[in-house]
Amino acid sequence: MLRNLLFLFSALVLISSCTNDTEQTAAQAPVIPMQDFFRNPTNAYFVLSPDGKKIAFTKPVNQRMNIFCTVIGSKDTIQLTNFTDRDVQGYFWKGDKIVYIKDKGGDENFHLYVIGSNGLNQKDLTPFEKVNVQIVDDLVAQENELLIGMNKDNPELFDVYHLDLQSGKITLEARNPGGVSQWLTDHNGNLRVAVQSDGVNSVILYRENKNTPFKQVLRTTFKEGVQPLIFTFDNKNLYALSNLNRDKSALIKFDVENGKELEVLFEHPEVDIDGIEYSRLRKVLTSADYSTSKSGQHFFDPIIKGIYQDLKKKLGEQDEIILTGHNQNEDLYLVRTMSDKTLGTTYLYNTKDKSLIKIADRAPWLKREEMCDMKPVSYKASDGLQINGYLTIPKGVDAKNLPVIINPHGGPWARDEWGWNPEVQFLANRGYAVLQINFRGSTGYGRKFWEAGFKQWGKKMQDDITDGVNWLVSEGIADPKRVGIYGASYGGYATLAGITYTPNLYACAVDYVGVSNLFTFMKTVPPYWQPFMQMMYEMVGDPVKDSVLLHEASPVFFVDKIKVPLFIAQGANDPRVNKAESDQIVEALKKRGVKVEYMVKENEGHGFGNEENQFDFYGAMEKFLAKHLGGRITQSATQPE
């Protein structure tokens, strides 16, 4: 729940060399066009129809990802959507129809649409202004019905509605009594569990059926608790994640009626459990997911384990293998491969004859052999805490005296993981070593590590990043005079904090939709975050009680310390980090006569989604970093193909 609520935050060219560029060797990768890292995939997000006869997928049309559909075995495709302003953000099958979501200009007020797989009868099912929609239950057994959440009547609260896809009729199913952030149905589509918060305490509410009232079954602080996942297949208990009386979240079976843990199904000694997979058809849990230095699975089900073993024999051990979907009979599976060096390939796997058919590469223009290794690393923070992260070294050069980009993640209640990252590969291709840091406060490493980041914005969380720079220098990897910092969302905040509180550490900085003033940030969060502000105050700081702390942790009040070149990018419609966060620090720097590059996109929100805007941003960043750190660059860096 917390992760969903508070996550603040993704042609041949002539090559010109800069003064400090590392001399190119035969083993060094060529300078790859910037657009190749950030252009839309040729085909992506494949989804099987319930009957297994069709596949829907997205592909770019006029630089926007639109939905297509094809009959398996046919070469013909039907284009279902034709948006020119914004990508389709997500979709799923409902019978022979496609249901999808899309916002306007990055405002995150998602509307829900439906269209037939023949391209007919498209309809906006939630045509309401400034209203966001969530899927509560796709009601698989009922072809024309959904349960959705909307903040239509109160922008702070999501009520549950029954939606008839055929008529478009919306009927209130359950009124949010206040603070409910999660609704859960049983396997028959009955709404029976709600997770409620007053901002500090979390409560699980339960009812036997819709004719009985919800009752409180468990009350905890937000620091610990039980996160319901799904009902057990007899609809009596819950499968859930719990960190009650333990540091790392474990997968448990939970007696929801009596609010008691029944048994631990799986736990990992090093990290939290992230989630589960299950078979709706066979009514069994299949696996538990977690992430150490790389992602892992614990299998409960021999059938799914056997499928993965067969796929590894066919595809090898080089890439991660993910089952991304299946038909209702669970005899056809979509399979995707992915690694740190490739966006991967999608396949269709038939469990009956064990055949594996390649469907499409996501980015065939990128060559695996030209990409760089993302290697897990760890170091000790100044207070002795172990910090984990990932280091990517440019291909074909020694890991010595390199220009470096420190790349703190967003969130901050999130974590970096091993896998494909276009920004990291782009920067490494330009000659920069890239360090990603899971500083204290990052999720996945247990409650103690997470809580160690409370009220530590600009303090120990920032010290962990500083310690990462010092570690790279002590190892001889980083040239101390050529260290830059770049991050988005909280990573943008950490960027501003880095050049404010440790002004001698960095040579330049790039802030992408980052927080500059914790007071104004707290006042401009989306309305549906308001019920959880007390939790934010405990994790970040209370604007009244902790005013001194927040002032000290707000870079905008210390711009006189900034002395290195700064580039800021911001979406005008950002609902999470308001544009004023970037405006005010730019204005403060201008008053001091300090030049700062400032890019604003009027049709974007929390990060740039439209391809041409990404090209503008990364092209400008490429030039900025090359100028101040001496990396490689292409003459066509800012020009689309």
Cβ-count burial of 538 within 10 angstroms (0-12 exposed, 13-18 middle, 19+ buried)? middle
Task: Measure the CA–CA gap between 275 and 292, rounded to whole angstroms.
Answer: 14
pLDDT the model gives residue 355: 97
pLDDT the model gives residue 22: 38
- Residues acting as catalytic residues: 489, 574, 606
Question: How many residues appear in the chain?
Answer: 641
User: Token pair of 230, please?
Assistant: 């799904």
- Global pTM? 0.92
Task: Measure the CA–CA gap between 338 and 318, rounded to whole angstroms.
Answer: 9
Give per-residue pLDDT as tens, 555-573. 999 999 999 999 999 999 9
Give per-residue pLDDT as tens, 625-634. 999 999 998 8
Q: Is pLDDT of 639 > 70?
A: no
Residue 376: pLDDT band by 50, 70, 90 thresholds? very high
Mean pLDDT of the chain: 92
CB atoms within 10 A of CB 427: 28
Task: Measure the CA–CA gap between 38 and 620, rounded to whole angstroms.
Answer: 14
pLDDT the model gives residue 635: 62
Give per-residue pLDDT as tens, 164-207. 999 999 999 999 999 999 999 999 999 999 999 888 899 999 99
Among 19-33, 144-158, 253-267, which stretch is predicted with the lowest mean pLDDT?
19-33
CATH architecture of the domain with range 2-36+367-631? 3-Layer(aba) Sandwich (3.40)
- Output phi, psi for 163, to 5 deg: -120, 125
Among 154-158, 267-271, 451-455, which stretch is predicted with the lowest mean pLDDT?
154-158
Domain parsing of the chain, residue ranges? 2-36+367-631
Q: Is pLDDT of 21 > 70?
A: no
- The residue behind tokens 């049709």 is 603
Task: Measure the CA–CA gap between 485 and 415, rounded to whole angstroms.
Answer: 17
User: Token pair of 395, please?
Assistant: 């291909």
CB 440 within 8 A of CB 452: yes
Q: Is pLDDT of 585 > 90?
A: yes
User: Token pair of 534, please?
Assistant: 């007390």
pLDDT the model gives residue 594: 83
Residue 636: pLDDT band by 50, 70, 90 thresholds? low
Task: Measure the CA–CA gap between 461 and 452, rounded to whole angstroms.
Answer: 8
- Output phi, psi for 146, to 5 deg: -140, 155
Q: Identify the CA nearest to 44 among candidates 29, 57, 27, 28.
A: 57
Q: Is pLDDT of 596 > 70?
A: yes
Residues 6+ apart with CB under 8 A from 191: 136, 137, 147, 160, 173, 174, 183, 184, 185, 210
Q: Is pLDDT of 360 > 80?
A: yes
Q: What is the pairing mode between strands 226-231 and 238-242?
A: antiparallel
Q: Is pLDDT of 641 > 60?
A: no
Better-predicted residue by pLDDT, 520 or 594: 520
Give per-residue pLDDT as tens, 70-90. 999 898 999 999 999 999 999
pLDDT the model gives residue 576: 87
pLDDT the model gives residue 503: 95
Task: Measure the CA–CA gap between 347 and 358, rounded to whole angstroms.
Answer: 4
CB 59 within 8 A of CB 43: yes
Q: Is pLDDT of 159 > 50?
A: yes
Q: Is pLDDT of 463 > 60?
A: yes
pLDDT the model gives residue 593: 84
- The residue behind tokens 């910037």 is 34
Q: Is pLDDT of 161 > 50?
A: yes
